[in-house]
RNA sequence: GGGCUUAUAGCUCAGACGGUUAGAGCGCGCGCCUGAUAAGCGCGAGGUCUCUGGUUCGAUUCCAGAUAAGCCCA
């Protein structure tokens, strides 16, 4: 028995099983940790993990993000960087609260408070990690190397403390302030809703749609634009669908560039947008008495509809806003800043008073607390007030028209109450103050794909508004602002130490009210614990209580660059090294989420971009092309795939199917394809190598001849390998994680289907010698290099190859491919001419296959001659140089070149448009016509003879050179010919007696080989053979090619009569009968 | 309503500084090759390169508009 050089590769395996063994190997030998340690002194590459939520099971889109991150980190590691990989968990926020509420059957804040905030918070903590195990398993199983045991967790005290510190920086720079924000609000639940909740509750409803007359007081415009005779009788015609906001009206908005008209109607002058005339007056438009641009109406004052109380700001005049439309209503929009985002913005812009005559309970209030004008709707819920307000307007003659309006309106998804867009007191970060810096920093970020920079993200930054930070909720980082009960003084606490220094804890026991204890060092910074801390006011003798809000959880994760290190309380040096991050990658929806929050906090703190490279991933659609969702039932569970096809196949599919920034349809069949096409092929080449290397006992390290002395196919594949290395490095440098593995896949295909296929007999059966050694050395080098190249993408398979191929021979080699160095191309081995030549020759061979196929003569049958036409001299030289490949592959004895195109193919002449276009412009089309109608064969003869052509076209004579003409060929029927645009191959199909015999010999070999296989012989088993045929041809062929047949089939003895245990079959050999028997020696 | 992106074969995707025969894989049909293959090769069927206009000798490619889809925002 020969020594086993490499571990035998069993043909019975599944990739998924092998991966589990590799996982064990990694775990047992701490390969992940080592992959960081070996690069400890190398330049760092900073990866920042976007923290996922572990309160839902991971889906395929999470796998996508994780494998992308992993490939980049592995690549950077192998190219000599220290890549620290800290995991993270996002834990705060409304999604958690809602899950817990659902679980506890809590439907509003009052019930929650009754249940107890403390109990509730404890439930939230449990909820957050309910799927952590699944996440951990998925993460490990897909081979995402990230340190889960040292993860940053946004709910930890350390993390919160860092976030507090960040907020304090904003506070000190006066960037944290209190204002109003219009939010969807449920007055029954007493809470605002997040946008995704709002999206849950849209219903189609019918609301009042009313047009109200606002009496114009004193137009402030010049006399020349004023054909109005009777101003007292002039009204703005204003539209609204929320009558209950009319008591809070403070302005009317028009579109600056719209055309407005004043019409006479029933003795009154009404001002409205010209475009709205038809919808309001139908076929009988009233007479137009004046026209204005919207801008001309600005500042016109009108009589308030209702008393709004005392406000210092100017109110009740016309403003302009770009949100006004004329597709509905009148082109004049009622403005109540407390009840709409547009209204609020315009209120700020024009410094309008914030009149909010609706309470947080959803009931209408009297203005200014004055009781003297008791309106009929006071105390009514908003919708109930509508008819009363309409009736009031009607009685006062101010109602122009009242109809119904059907539209989508959001309702509370929990209690079905219509939501109000309602201005609530809220805390903000003044991001508008750092907008310019953020825009500048964005310029420094490399976005993949690039259009995000100026597109989605840039636009978002351009339109930046202050960050609404506070949430009137429970489960989140508490806003660390304390306010004095008596003087209103505010203070922002920036650390636990400061809290201890300034604060005291109220004794929770009622009996001991007004007694205090010190703030403990380990105080839990969540609500309600932190709510019990009070501070002594430094301005007066009052007591300061914390504002009860928590903050937007996006701010939490947005501080990850800093808070993951518990900076500045610890790890000061880490931050210096790790900011900005080199690389982040998340889904595109994070443009407004994490991508933004990181940039905003990073700009605020350090005035530097928070990350240098950002890979934006797109959504994954279900197999039906629809967005994956549980309700549609088109989700795909990663665990099943990992179980069956394995992680590498899933990863490869993720990388190669389409660029990750294009939305993709997830097709499980695609994973099978990755498995078969790439992994299967690579694995087969690998097992082929191992099998014969063990059989033939070649020492690939010692016996390797220099490349210059190796066969041409060796040089070719090694040249391609170097080009592949360059390509992969370049693509990876550009974060193109699709093109890099696609290039590897193309290479492996060429390796298997050309290099190995054409070299097979060099590996097996050939005599030991330089050529055989060259073949083994070449394939070995290629396989090891490919394993390294592919390691970031298919870390399991790559490691298996590497460990068996490299570690079996070299005890000093790194123990895993992931500890090895990424290949560097050897430019000296690149031979571009050879590459082009090989490509051309393969093209010729491919056409030869087509011609053979057309002839119906099987490839095993040798043919005498292959004729090639249309080749340039250089191309002929190429084919001659690589003729051995053509002979072997097409099984032909000789190759001839012919200049006579006509005999085999149909020739047409076309202008070379690319050359002639710029020369003759319009004339090109005429030349084309002339060439098409002329006798192509004759023209070509002239061209060949004289080197040029005269063509008459539309009255002009054009002289065309050889290079101006494109000679094209087409198949001519009736020959065994294959033609493409410029060349053809033709087969001579006549068989001589010798060829027939040789064909039979090869047929015999083929049949015997198949029988060996069927009989279950090992590849290296020697056999005895018997042949029994009545055909003299078969017998003659056997005798003529006896050596060849015996050698190919490892036959040592030919016997007359087979033994009893022989495996016998009667075969048809090209129509000749023969009985073959094979049996053991 | 706004912004961004996309539109190429039945499906998944390439591609072309603008050049007259637009490719691959999968799937389908037929054939071939094979003692490495969970393979491979060849042939065939399958395309108004979403539509309309513009620029141009020439547009699937560039420009404008439209339509559809996706995401984000309102």
> From edge to edge, which strands make up the β-sheet containing A481-484?
A490-492, A481-484, A543-546, A533-536, A503-506, A516-518
ipTM (interface pTM): 0.89
pLDDT of residue A229 exceeding 60, the answer is no
Query: Does the structure show a pLDDT above 60 at A370?
Result: no
Q: Given this model, what pLDDT does residue A223 score?
A: 43
On the question of pLDDT at A953 being above 80, the answer is no
Per CA to C1' distance, which residue is closest to B36? Answer: A688
Query: d(Cα A73, Cα A237) in Å, to the nearest integer?
Result: 63
Contacts of A47 (CB under 8 A, 6+ apart): A69, A72, A73, A76, A83, A84, A85, A581, A582, A583, A584
Residue-wise pLDDT tens digits, A706-734:
999 999 999 999 999 999 999 999 999 99
Non-local CB neighbours of A1081 within 8 Å, separated by 6+ positions: A1021, A1022, A1023, A1024, A1052, A1053
Residue at minimum CA to C1' distance from nucleotide B24:
A746
HEC profile of A907-943: EEEEECHHHHHHHHCCHHHHHHHHHHHCCHHHHHHHH
Residue A222 has a pLDDT of 45
What mean pLDDT, rounded, does chain A reach? 86
H or E element, residue A986: strand A984-988
Check residue A30 and give its pLDDT: 96
pLDDT band at A218 (very low <50, low <70, confident <90, very high): low
Whether the per-residue pLDDT at A230 is higher than 70: the answer is no
| CA-closest candidate to residue A902, choices A988, A979, A960, A964 | A979
Distance in angstroms: CA A410, C1' B31: 64
Are A468 and A552 in contact by the 8 Å Cβ rule? The answer is: yes
| Cβ density class A262-283: b for 16+ within 10 Å, e for less | bbebeebbbbbbbbbbeebeee
Using the 8-state DSSP alphabet, how is residue A704 labeled? P
Rounded Cα distance between A262 and A207, Å, is 28
Q: Which of A141-155, A161-175, A668-682 has the lowest mean pLDDT?
A: A668-682
Q: How far is the CA of A808 from the C1' of B53 (A)?
A: 68
For A764, counting Cβ atoms within 10 Å of its Cβ (0-12 exposed, 13-18 middle, 19+ buried), the class is middle
Which nucleotide is closest, CA of A925 to its C1'?
B57
- Per-residue confidence at A146, pLDDT binned at 50, 70, 90? very high
Taking a C-beta distance cutoff of 8 angstroms, is the pair A680, A648 a contact?
no
Grade residue A221 by pLDDT with cuts at 50, 70 and 90. Answer: very low
Q: Which nucleotide is nearest to A982 (CA to C1')?
A: B21
The pLDDT assigned to A195 comes to 62
- Per-residue pLDDT reduced to its tens digit, A332-345: 989 998 888 888 88
Pairwise pLDDT comparison (A92 vs A846), residue with the higher score = A92
CA of A586 to C1' of B4 (A): 17
How confident is the model at residue A226, as a pLDDT?
A: 47
Q: How far is the CA of A677 from the C1' of B46 (A)?
A: 23
**In the predicted structure, residue A1007 carries a pLDDT above the cut 50:** yes
Inter-residue contact A97 to A124 (CB < 8 Å): yes
- Checking if the pLDDT of A449 tops 70, the result is yes
**What does the alpha-carbon distance between residue A719 and residue A723 come to, in Å, rounded to a whole number?**
6
Contact A299, A231 (CB under 8 A): no
Identify whether the C-beta of residue A294 lies closer than 8 Å to the C-beta of residue A320.
yes
The residue whose CA lies nearest the C1' of nucleotide B21 is A981
Please, which pLDDT band fits residue A200 given cuts at 50, 70 and 90?
low
Nucleotides of B under 7 A from a protein CB: 1, 3-6, 11-14, 19-21, 25-26, 31-43, 56-58, 70-74
Query: Rounded CA gap, A263 and A690, in Å?
Result: 93
Condensed to tens digits (0 to 9), the pLDDT of residues A754-790 reads 888 888 888 876 778 888 899 999 999 999 999 999 9
Which nucleotide is nearest, taking the CA of residue A742 and each C1'?
Answer: B14
Pick the range with the lowest mean pLDDT from A193-197, A711-715, A835-839: A193-197
In 3D space, the residue among A816, A790, A818 whose CA is nearest the CA of residue A803 turns out to be A816
SS3 for A367-411, per residue? Answer: HHHCCCCCCCCCCCEHHHHHHHHHHHHHHCCCEEEEEEEEEEEEE
pLDDT of residue A1: 45
**A922-945 mean pLDDT:** 81
Q: What DSSP state is assigned to residue A455?
A: I
**What does the pLDDT average to over A917-942?**
81
Residues of A noted as catalytic: 51, 90, 554, 590, 594, 627, 630
pLDDT confidence bin for A509, thresholds 50/70/90: low
User: Above 80 in pLDDT, residue A972?
Assistant: no
Look at residue A641 and tell me whether its pLDDT is greater than 80.
Answer: yes
Q: Check residue A71 and give its pLDDT.
A: 95
**Residue A123 has what pLDDT?**
95
For residue A891, give the nucleotide whose C1' atom is nearest its CA: B33
**pLDDT (mean) for A508-526:** 80
Residue A674 pLDDT greater than 90, yes or no? no
Name the pairing type of β-strands A251-254 and A317-320.
Answer: parallel
pLDDT tier, A830 (very low <50, low <70, confident <90, very high otherwise): very high
pLDDT at A902 over 90: no
The pLDDT score that the predictor gives to residue A1080 is 77
Closest residue to B27 measured CA to C1′: A669
The helix (run of H) or strand (run of E) holding residue A491 is strand A490-492
- In angstroms, the CA of A641 and the C1' of B9 are apart by 29
Tell me if A221 sits within 8 A of A296, measured CB to CB: yes
């Amino acid at each position: 028995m020969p020594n086993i050089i490499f571990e035998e590769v069993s043909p019975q395996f599944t990739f998924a099983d092998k991966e589990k063994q590799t996982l064990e190997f990694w775990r047992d030998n701490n390969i992940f940790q080592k992959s960081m340690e070996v690069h400890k002194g190398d330049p760092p590459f900073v990866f920042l993990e976007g923290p996922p939520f572990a309160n839902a099971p991971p889906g395929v889109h999470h796998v996508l993000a994780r494998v992308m991150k992993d490939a980049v980190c592995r690549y950077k590691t192998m190219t000599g960087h220290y890549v620290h990989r800290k995991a993270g968990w996002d834990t705060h926020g409304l999604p958690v609260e809602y899950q817990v509420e659902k679980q506890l059957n809590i439907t509003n804040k009052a019930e929650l408070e009754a249940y107890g905030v403390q109990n509730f918070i404890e439930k939230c903590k449990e909820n957050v990690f309910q799927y952590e195990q699944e996440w951990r398993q998925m993460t490990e199983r897909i081979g995402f190397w990230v340190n889960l045991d040292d993860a940053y967790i946004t709910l930890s005290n350390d993390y919160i403390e860092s976030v507090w510190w960040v907020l304090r920086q904003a506070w000190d720079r006066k960037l944290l302030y209190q204002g109003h924000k219009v939010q969807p609000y449920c007055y029954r639940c007493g809470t605002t809703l997040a946008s995704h909740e709002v999206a849950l509750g849209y219903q189609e409803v019918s609301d009042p749609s009313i047009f109200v007359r606002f009496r114009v007081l004193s137009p402030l415009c010049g006399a020349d634009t004023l054909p109005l005779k009777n101003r007292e009788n002039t009204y703005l015609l204003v539209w609204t669908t929320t009558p209950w906001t009319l008591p809070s009206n403070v302005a009317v908005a028009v579109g600056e560039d719209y055309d407005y008209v004043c019409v006479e109607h029933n003795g009154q002058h009404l001002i409205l947008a010209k475009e709205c005339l038809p919808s309001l007056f139908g076929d009988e438009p009233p007479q137009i008495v004046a026209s204005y641009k919207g801008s001309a109406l600005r500042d016109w004052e009108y009589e308030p509809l209702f008393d709004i109380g005392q406000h210092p700001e100017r109110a009740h005049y016309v403003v302009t806003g770009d949100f006004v439309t004329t597709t509905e209503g009148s082109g004049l929009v009622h403005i109540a800043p407390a009840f709409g985002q547009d209204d609020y913005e315009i209120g700020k812009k024009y410094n309008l008073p914030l009149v909010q005559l609706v309470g947080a309970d959803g009931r209408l209030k009297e203005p200014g607390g004055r009781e003297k004008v008791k309106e009929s709707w006071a105390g009514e819920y908003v919708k109930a007030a509508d008819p009363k307000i309409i009736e009031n307007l009607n009685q006062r003659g101010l109602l122009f028209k009242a109809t119904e309006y059907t539209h989508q309106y959001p309702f509370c998804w929990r209690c079905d109450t219509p939501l109000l867009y309602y201005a609530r007191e809220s805390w903000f970060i003044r991001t508008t103050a750092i907008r310019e810096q953020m825009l500048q920093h964005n310029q420094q970020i490399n976005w993949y794909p690039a259009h995000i920079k100026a597109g989605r993200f840039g636009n978002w930054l351009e339109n930046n508004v202050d960050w609404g930070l506070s949430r009137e909720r429970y489960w989140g980082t508490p806003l660390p602002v304390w306010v004095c009960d008596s003087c209103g003084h505010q203070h922002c606490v920036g650390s636990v130490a400061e809290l201890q220094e300034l604060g005291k804890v109220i004794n929770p026991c009622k009996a001991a009210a007004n007694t205090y204890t010190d703030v403990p060092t380990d105080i839990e910074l969540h609500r309600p614990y932190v709510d019990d801390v009070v501070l002594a006011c430094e301005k007066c003798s009052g007591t300061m209580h914390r504002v009860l809000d928590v903050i937007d959880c996006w701010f939490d994760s947005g501080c990850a660059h800093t808070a993951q290190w518990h900076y500045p309380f610890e790890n000061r040096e880490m931050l210096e090294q790790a900011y900005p991050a080199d690389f982040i990658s998340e889904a595109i929806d994070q443009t407004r989420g994490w991508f933004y929050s990181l940039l905003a906090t990073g700009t605020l703190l350090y005035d530097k971009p928070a990350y240098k490279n950002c890979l934006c991933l797109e959504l994954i659609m279900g197999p039906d092309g629809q967005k994956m969702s549980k309700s549609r039932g088109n989700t795909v569970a990663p665990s099943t795939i990992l179980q069956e096809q394995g992680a590498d196949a899933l990863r490869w599919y993720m990388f190669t199917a389409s660029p990750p920034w294009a939305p993709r349809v997830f097709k499980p069949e695609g994973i099978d394809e990755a498995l078969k096409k790439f992994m299967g092929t690579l694995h087969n080449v690998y097992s082929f190598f191992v099998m014969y290397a063990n059989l033939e006992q070649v020492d690939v390290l010692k016996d390797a001849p220099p490349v210059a002395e190796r066969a041409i196919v060796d040089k070719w594949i090694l040249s391609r390998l170097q080009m592949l290395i360059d390509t992969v490095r370049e693509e990876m440098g550009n974060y193109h994680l699709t093109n890099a593995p696609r290039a590897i896949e193309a290479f492996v295909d060429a390796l298997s289907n050309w290099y190995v296929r054409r070299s097979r007999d060099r590996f097996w059966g050939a005599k030991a010698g330089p050529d055989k050694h060259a073949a083994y050395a070449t394939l070995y080098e290629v396989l090891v290099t490919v394993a390294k190249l592919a390691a970031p993408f298919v870390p399991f398979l790559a490691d298996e190859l590497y460990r068996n191929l490299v570690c079996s021979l070299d005890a000093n080699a790194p123990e895993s491919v992931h500890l090895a160095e990424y290949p560097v191309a050897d430019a000296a081995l690149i031979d571009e001419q050879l590459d082009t030549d090989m490509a051309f020759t393969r093209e010729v061979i491919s056409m030869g296959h087509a011609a053979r196929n057309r002839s119906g003569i099987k490839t095993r049958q040798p043919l005498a001659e292959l004729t090639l036409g249309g080749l340039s001299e250089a191309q002929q030289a190429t084919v001659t140089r690589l003729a051995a490949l053509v002979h072997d592959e097409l099984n032909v004895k000789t190759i001839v070149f012919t200049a006579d195109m006509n005999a085999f193919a149909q020739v047409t002449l076309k202008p070379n448009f690319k050359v002639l276009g710029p020369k003759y412009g319009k004339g090109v089309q005429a030349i084309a016509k002339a060439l098409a109608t002329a006798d192509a064969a004759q023209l070509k003869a002239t061209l060949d003879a004289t080197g040029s052509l005269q063509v008459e076209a539309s009255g002009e004579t054009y002289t065309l050179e050889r290079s101006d003409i494109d000679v094209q060929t087409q198949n001519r029927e009736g020959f065994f010919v294959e033609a493409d645009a410029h060349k053809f191959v033709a087969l001579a199909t006549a068989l001589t007696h010798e060829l027939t015999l040789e064909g039979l010999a090869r047929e015999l070999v083929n049949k015997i080989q198949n029988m060996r296989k069927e009989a279950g012989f090992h590849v290296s088993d020697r056999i005895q053979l018997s042949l029994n045929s009545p055909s003299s041809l078969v017998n003659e062929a056997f005798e003529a090619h006896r050596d060849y047949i015996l050698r190919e089939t490892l036959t040592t003895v030919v016997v007359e009569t087979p033994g009893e245990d022989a495996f016998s079959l009667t075969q048809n050999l090209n129509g000749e009968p023969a009985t073959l028997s094979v049996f053991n020696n």
